[in-house]
Amino acid sequence: MTQTAAVIGGGVIGGGWAARFALMGWDVQVFDPDPEAERKIGEVMAGAARALPMLYEAPMPRRGALRFCATPEEAVTGADYIQESVPERLELKQKVYAAIQAVAPDAVLASSTSGFKPSELQAGAVRPGQIVVAHPFNPVYLLPLVELVPGAAEPGVVERARSVLTGIGMFPLHVRAEIDAHIADRFLEAVWREALWLVKDGIATTEEIDNAIRYGFGLRWAQMGLFETYRVAGGEAGMRHFMAQFGPALQWPWTRLMDVPEFTDDLVELIAGQSDAQSGHLSIRALERLRDNNLVAILRALKGQNAAAGKLILDHDATLRRPLEDSLPLVTVRRIVPVDWTDVNGHMNEGRYGQVFSDASEELMFHVGADRDYIAAGNSYFTVETTIRYLAETLAGEEIEVETRVTLGEGKKLRLWHEMKRAADGTVLATCDQFMLHVSLETRRSCPPLAHVQDAVEQLARAHADG
């Protein structure tokens, strides 16, 4: 049964939540008093619908419906989960809770707050135990981290929040003790303060600081974080050696972290001016597109290594896989072309066409019972001959489907006919004639399949000859 999320406040963060929930198959009910909210969320949704599915090899769930509501009470009616993302003002958040708690006593009520502690949000609420902090990171539809801070939330509410967030592909980090700004933003605040001083004192420009991050430690942080990186930096002797070597440096007056530069008009002008010189030739939308493409490419690379956030996506991908539907012809692949599959011409590289058809035949093998267990037991199909005809271009972000027919299924011989189509208009992008032989992985020679696979292949061949 489709579940329903309520999104209260549909700005930068609320829009990202709405997109992630809808793309993961939830119906979403939004309330935001801004008359422009629908247009703004539409734009976030368009970016998210292009980028998020690129992370997955499995077909995405059917997209949930997005409905805009006239009142917060209407938006939370029937909702299993509520995500509040209104502006960062305590009295506003508390007022919103008073209105919605009366209508939705059983839903999880999670707040996106960056700074407030759960106890501050829970103070004065009719049911404090219903409220939990679930602090995400922008763009919510791509970054998996969400800091889950319970405060006085009931354990059952926290558990439900964790289960919902995991189900939509996120990584809930349980923050055991509540502090202002949780965990991650404390780091960002430290880095931000140091950066402000470096610009104010004329040591570095905004671009030089960004370069210091993106060419070096930013890459290390994305895959190992801080402590694991330093453990490696300690060499064979590891963390203890690292601490012994660099510990004394903490006494040196390197940092100005305890001071905050005065936020004068001059400082704002200095930073904004440097930022304009650095990136002013690109619109915010163009920068968002660049950011999303890069994040997708990094996350997919980590997925290939089964590491860090990539491991999370790999595991989530496995939960999205469903058995093929018994359609005629079989739809063996349904996916979005990811950014890292395109070449200098901007379209999908020809090698990836081969990969898509190979994925299609693997799905068909699973469908007829030649699955992982069957292969582990020493049986498989090997491709002997493939003929691909490239008929049309396909670009990153486009949805493609492969329809597969069994054109020959006799004994050890299996011949497949695949058609790759653009989902939006049915254009045939490529065809593939593929001849495979059943083999014994022990002798590495061809042999007939086991009876249940043979029966399934013959049945499909008959159905596809008639259909």
Ligand X SMILES: NC(=O)c1ccc[n+]([C@@H]2O[C@H](COP(=O)([O-])OP(=O)(O)OC[C@H]3O[C@@H](n4cnc5c(N)ncnc54)[C@H](O)[C@@H]3O)[C@@H](O)[C@H]2O)c1
Q: Which residues bind ligand X (CB under 6 A)?
A: 8-14, 31-34, 37, 72, 85-88, 92, 96, 112-114, 135-136, 138
CB of 248 to ligand X, least distance (A): 36
**DSSP secondary structure letter of residue 213:** I
Among 335, 342, 384, 385, CA closest to 360 = 335
| Omega of the bond leading into 139 within 30 degrees of 0 (cis) | yes
| CB nearer to ligand X: pick between 110 and 333 | 110
| CB nearer to ligand X: pick between 72 and 118 | 72
Helix (H) or strand (E) holding 294: helix 284-304
CB of 272 to ligand X, least distance (A): 18
Find the angle CA(305)-CA(307)-CA(310) to the nearest 5 degrees.
Answer: 90
| CB nearer to ligand X: pick between 12 and 395 | 12
- Conformational region of residue 264, where left means phi above 0, alpha means psi within -120 to 50, and beta covers everything else: beta
CB of 260 to ligand X, least distance (A): 20
CB of 15 to ligand X, least distance (A): 7
CB of 8 to ligand X, least distance (A): 5
| CB nearer to ligand X: pick between 180 and 201 | 180
| CB nearer to ligand X: pick between 109 and 416 | 109
| CB nearer to ligand X: pick between 87 and 323 | 87
Please state the φ and ψ torsions of residue 153, each to the nearest 5 degrees: -65, 145
Residues 203, 333: Cα–Cα separation, whole Å: 53
Would you say 317 and 306 are in contact if contact means Cβ atoms under 8 Å apart?
no
Q: What angle do helix axes 308-320 and 284-304 make, rounded to 10 degrees?
A: 80
Q: Are strands 131-135 and 108-111 parallel, antiparallel or unpaired?
A: parallel
Give me the residue whose beta carbon is nearest to ligand X: 11
CB of 16 to ligand X, least distance (A): 8
CB of 22 to ligand X, least distance (A): 17
Residues 413, 454: Cα–Cα separation, whole Å: 10
Which residues, 6+ apart, have CB-to-CB distance to 73 below 8 Å? 99, 100, 102, 103
| CB nearer to ligand X: pick between 45 and 364 | 45
